[in-house]
Chains A and B, each alone.
Chain A
Amino acid sequence: MSNNWEMVIGLEVHAQLKTSSKLFSSSPNQFGSEPNENVNFIDSGMPGMLPVMNFGCIEMAIKTGYALNFKINKYSVFERKNYFYPDLPQGYQISQFEFPILSEGYINIDSGDNQKKIRIERAHLEQDAGKSIHDIDPKYSFIDLNRVGTPLLEIVSYPDLSSADEVINYMSSLRQLLMYIDVCDGNMQEGSLRADVNLSVRKKGQELGTRCEIKNLNSFKFIKQAIEYEFQRQINIIDGGGEIEQNTMLFDTSTGETRAMRSKEFSHDYRYFPDPDLLPVNLSQEQIDKIKPLVGELPQDKLNKYLDNYSLDKDIAKIIIAEKQNANLFEKMISESTVKPKFIAAWLVGDIFAFIKENNLEVNSLNDKTKDITDLLKLISDDVISNKAGKEILPKVLNGEGKPSELVKELGLEQVSDSGELEKIIDEALVGEEENILKFQGGSDRVLGYFVGKCLKATKGKGNPKLINKILLEKLKK
């Protein structure tokens, strides 16, 4: 019975920064190279090698500071976190400890129908470690040092999250923001964004319980599974009269279970101390201010703009701002066209996104087709062609098969909007309909629909329905 129980969760999110070189060495920072290809003497921990800070990482941290409402610290210090492991060549990880670059931030996330503020304690820069591969050979482990020294920003939340859904919302909001400000590619599969989940349980209203930390989760699915499993595991222990041990847990993706990796007794003493090879980071207000314009519009800014200036429906606006490339495509179309944003938005999240999904395309791949798309939307909104005809032509435009106006002509889909011509058709349609005309004049609106349908049929579907409607009404009222 988990009804009386609630979970308390804090998240440590590791975001790999999108710099071209590593945090303290000039080796390339990229995924997917041959093993040990992106490794220099510094990365491999050769004697006498010294770290040199990549200032690009500081700039990205500052950007993140603005995006996540952090206090950006002018003074921060890189320290050494000492432990032995074969994929950690220096024998220590350079990380910020006592003086992080960012402190006391927050973001707002959706929680049910409401917004919830999630406070973030700190974010600090640190080096990633390499990779140990244990499953190639029964006797030997293999070491790939490519990832050694890759810049990470570790974002540590307060324990403000209280459900798996909130955690997912928090994580996806973070991901969205980091991608918006262009500091992280957000690719969770490649490990660019991973989370350690700290979870404890308590009876509602009671004091905090002992927490366990589930390490290194790199998909929303696993995060959800791990939280749900761990929640139940802890409740079962307490219900069974046991106590929670403060353990570090691993999540087994094949069984969907968490299991203890090491207990607190065996936790490392990392012997942090300031790295004497590096000077403290001292930022001037000018250096910090200079970064602000680079942050650009954030999702919330865009949402407000779309609702207030473009009168979009909230649901549609949210789909567009979900990813920066969507918003970029949308705003490009607005800037190139006189069609109403709301009309463009409806087509974008409808038929255009459907086309992208069906054909497995990148949103960005349509960036050079926006003019054709908006030309087509203009034809639709100006009633030159019908909605139905628009849907027929859209895939051809997106496939680059021709210009919208040419396609309309080619396919003979132009609407009849010549009122003289339509009048003739309507007059013919009304012949022999005296009885129905009388019914209409007697107050039966349903008859109007019948007449519109009859006229449209007579135009083989090409007649402009609005115009037909208008002319019909004038004639019927006489």
Chain B
Amino acid sequence: MKNSISQIKKALIEKKISVGELYDEYLAKAKSGNNNSFNLVIDRENNISSINDSQNRYNNGNPLPLDGIPLGIKDLFCTKGIRTTASSKILSNFIPNYESFVTQQLLNDGSIFIGKNNCDEFAMGSSNETSYFGPVINPWKNKNSQNDNLVPGGSSGGSAAAVAEGSCVASMGTDTGGSIRQPASLCGIVGLKPTFGSCSRWGIVAFASSLDQAGPLTNCVEDAAYVLNSINKHDFNDSTSSNHQREDYLVDINNNFEKKIKIGIPSDYLEDVSDDILNQIDNTKKALSKHGIEFVDVKFKTTEYALSTYYILAPAEASSNLARYDGIRYGVREDGESLDDIYLNSRTKGFGDEVTRRILIGAYVLSAGYYDAYYRQAQKVRRLIKNDFQRILNEVDFILTPTTPNEAFKIGDKLDPISMYKNDIYTVPTSLAGLPGISIPSGLSKNGLPLGVQFIGNYFEEKSLLQLAALAEKELSFNE
């Protein structure tokens, strides 16, 4: 088992290790890693004052909540003075002059950034193969074909791989349709997508504004609570940031529930799935039943529409969000004879195929004559999906689903976009509803690869969701 944040903090408090030694240990792993999980590693000299300040706080006996903890940051968060690329050629030279709200909270709480994690270009992808900086390799190997390099999932594939390979204690990811939960599942770690509106989007390179949400990828559920405590705050500069009262997610995390808990399992999610996946649900059910938790069958009416709804709405927003990358003010510019040529050349050469595909889909579904049939219709269906979840969450406390329909696959295996999109079939509905979801490792496949299950809770109920995940985690822990 890797060390958890609380274990590391204990070692730092007890002076068994210094902040600098801890940082060096992780930095060395990040630098020597073979999985391409970082687009950029931050050298010691650039972190030296943070390291010293952190050590001083430990020496003075007043460490901050995440003091000295080495974190990876998905290369989608703008970090002041540190190159931020969204894993795209078009931003490959971009150094922001501002710090995203979420990463600022993490810095305020004493954490130290190891580097910027690789990800799918503009977070568009489910295998981390669309990155301009090349694919990320899953640290796990199929025991039946050890030589194959597997995908870590995506889009936060670099974050998931980095945590799994031990080159950072935790990593900040973003989730639009499953980009935290799916790679967490394929890399055997914990991934939490909070309720939409929990964590500010300010300073995160936007993909689909109505869906994007920051969240942690961690080794254990308790670590997710540590990070969530730091980043889950109201931000006046994000109009969609909720200003509800936040809780301390660490309190009660290791306690059993006081009330009787009922969990719904949507049987329609489990049609046509492999035994590997069914086993995950069964294992989880067994493990939690021991604690007196009740399981009931629930049925969604909208599941079959979720993926197509998502692949209309997310590209529509993306086509507009990515319009600012025009080569005029920042980023890579390709020259041309006319203004139109500059736009055309910069964007054609600056964006990869998947991003181009989604921009085109988005522009299409928003264009005159198609808007009503696609965009408006998809918005209506999204409302129905939300209602569907609300209906079920009125009957049960949580919903249990697989996180992914399959284990990690070989790099280059899923070239057809539609089969790639289907990877997110269990995570996309939650994103459309804006609900929180957490993926935890639940077991290994026949090939010895990690798989996860997803728990979905009600809006802003992260506290009990983490409590449930922690309970399940105790029962489901597997050996690497």
Binding site for B on A (CB under 8 A): 41, 44-53, 80, 82, 84, 86, 89-92, 143, 269, 271-273, 276-279
A41 touches B204 (CB 8 A): no
Contacts of B238 in A (CB 8 A): 50
B205's contact among A47, A269, A277, by CB below 8 Å, is which?
A: A47
- The residue of chain B having its C-beta at the shortest distance from the C-beta of A91 within the complex is B323
Binding site for A on B (CB under 8 A): 77-78, 84, 86, 91, 94, 96-98, 100, 201-206, 208-210, 236-240, 316-317, 319-320, 322-324, 326, 328-330, 339, 343, 363, 366-368, 371, 375
Greatest chain B CB density within 10 A among A86, A269, A271 is at A271
A276 touches B236 (CB 8 A): no
A-B contact list, 12 entries, CB within 8 Å: A45-B329, A47-B91, A48-B77, A48-B96, A48-B100, A49-B202, A50-B239, A82-B320, A84-B343, A143-B328, A273-B366, A277-B206
Give bound CA distance, A193 to B209, whole Å. 33
A273 touches B320 (CB 8 A): yes
Give bound CA distance, A49 to B204, whole Å. 8
A271 touches B366 (CB 8 A): yes
B320 touches A92 (CB 8 A): yes
A89 touches B100 (CB 8 A): no
A276 touches B366 (CB 8 A): no
- The residue of chain B having its C-beta at the shortest distance from the C-beta of A141 within the complex is B339
Contacts of A269 in B (CB 8 A): 367-368
Contacts of A86 in B (CB 8 A): 326, 328, 339
Knowing A47-B94, A48-B206 touch, does A90 contact B239 (C-beta < 8 A)? Answer: no
Q: How far is the CB of A402 from chain B (nearest CB, A)?
A: 57
Q: How far is the CB of B112 from chain A (nearest CB, A)?
A: 22
- The residue of chain B having its C-beta at the shortest distance from the C-beta of A87 within the complex is B328
Contacts of B210 in A (CB 8 A): 276
Give bound CA distance, A44 to B236, whole Å. 20
Q: How far is the CB of A348 from chain B (nearest CB, A)?
A: 49
B208 touches A276 (CB 8 A): yes
Q: How far is the CB of B338 from chain A (nearest CB, A)?
A: 11
Q: How far is the CB of A224 from chain B (nearest CB, A)?
A: 34
Which 6 pairs, one residue from A and one from B, show the smallest C-beta to C-beta distance?
A91-B323, A276-B209, A271-B366, A276-B210, A45-B324, A48-B203
Contacts of B323 in A (CB 8 A): 82, 84, 90-92
Knowing A48-B78, A48-B206, A53-B239 touch, does A271 contact B320 (C-beta < 8 A)? Answer: yes
- The residue of chain A having its C-beta at the shortest distance from the C-beta of B340 within the complex is A84
Give bound CA distance, A45 to B330, whole Å. 10
B320 touches A89 (CB 8 A): no
A48 touches B209 (CB 8 A): no
Q: How far is the CB of B317 from chain A (nearest CB, A)?
A: 5
Contacts of B371 in A (CB 8 A): 271-273
Contacts of B375 in A (CB 8 A): 273
Knowing A47-B206, A276-B208 touch, does A80 contact B320 (C-beta < 8 A)? Answer: yes
Greatest chain A CB density within 10 A among B201, B238, B323 is at B323
- The residue of chain B having its C-beta at the shortest distance from the C-beta of A270 within the complex is B368
Give bound CA distance, A91 to B96, whole Å. 19
B326 touches A48 (CB 8 A): no
B324 touches A91 (CB 8 A): yes
Q: How far is the CB of B348 from chain A (nearest CB, A)?
A: 14
Give bound CA distance, A287 to B323, whole Å. 35
Contacts of B330 in A (CB 8 A): 46
A89 touches B363 (CB 8 A): no
A50 touches B201 (CB 8 A): yes
Give bound CA distance, A46 to B95, whole Å. 11
Contacts of A51 in B (CB 8 A): 239
Knowing A46-B330, A84-B326, A92-B323 touch, does A271 contact B363 (C-beta < 8 A)? Answer: yes
Contacts of B328 in A (CB 8 A): 86, 89, 143
Knowing A51-B239, A82-B366 touch, does A46 contact B98 (C-beta < 8 A)? Answer: yes
Contacts of A273 in B (CB 8 A): 316-317, 320, 366, 371, 375
Contacts of A84 in B (CB 8 A): 323, 326, 343
- The residue of chain B having its C-beta at the shortest distance from the C-beta of A143 within the complex is B328
B237 touches A50 (CB 8 A): yes
**17 extra A-B contacts, CB within 8 A, seeds A89-B329, A277-B240, A278-B240:** A41-B97, A46-B96, A47-B84, A47-B86, A47-B96, A48-B201, A48-B203, A48-B204, A50-B201, A53-B239, A84-B323, A90-B324, A273-B320, A273-B366, A273-B375, A276-B317, A279-B240
- The residue of chain A having its C-beta at the shortest distance from the C-beta of B379 within the complex is A274
Q: How far is the CB of A246 from chain B (nearest CB, A)?
A: 15
Give bound CA distance, A383 to B371, whole Å. 77
A89 touches B324 (CB 8 A): yes
Contacts of A89 in B (CB 8 A): 324, 328-329
Q: How far is the CB of B78 from chain A (nearest CB, A)?
A: 5
Give bound CA distance, A80 to B317, whole Å. 10
- The residue of chain A having its C-beta at the shortest distance from the C-beta of B85 within the complex is A47
Q: How far is the CB of B92 from chain A (nearest CB, A)?
A: 13
A277 touches B209 (CB 8 A): yes
B239 touches A278 (CB 8 A): yes
Q: How far is the CB of B102 from chain A (nearest CB, A)?
A: 10
Give bound CA distance, A377 to B412, whole Å. 94
A52's contact among B236, B366, B368, by CB below 8 Å, is which?
A: B236
Q: How far is the CB of B240 from chain A (nearest CB, A)?
A: 7
Q: How far is the CB of A43 from chain B (nearest CB, A)?
A: 11
Contacts of A91 in B (CB 8 A): 320, 322-324, 326
Give bound CA distance, A41 to B210, whole Å. 21
Q: How far is the CB of A270 from chain B (nearest CB, A)?
A: 9
Contacts of A49 in B (CB 8 A): 202-203
Knowing A41-B97, A91-B323, A271-B366 touch, does A52 contact B237 (C-beta < 8 A)? Answer: yes
Contacts of A80 in B (CB 8 A): 320
Q: How far is the CB of B174 from chain A (nearest CB, A)?
A: 11
Contacts of A90 in B (CB 8 A): 323-324
A50 touches B202 (CB 8 A): yes
Q: How far is the CB of B4 from chain A (nearest CB, A)?
A: 30
Give bound CA distance, A276 to B317, whole Å. 8
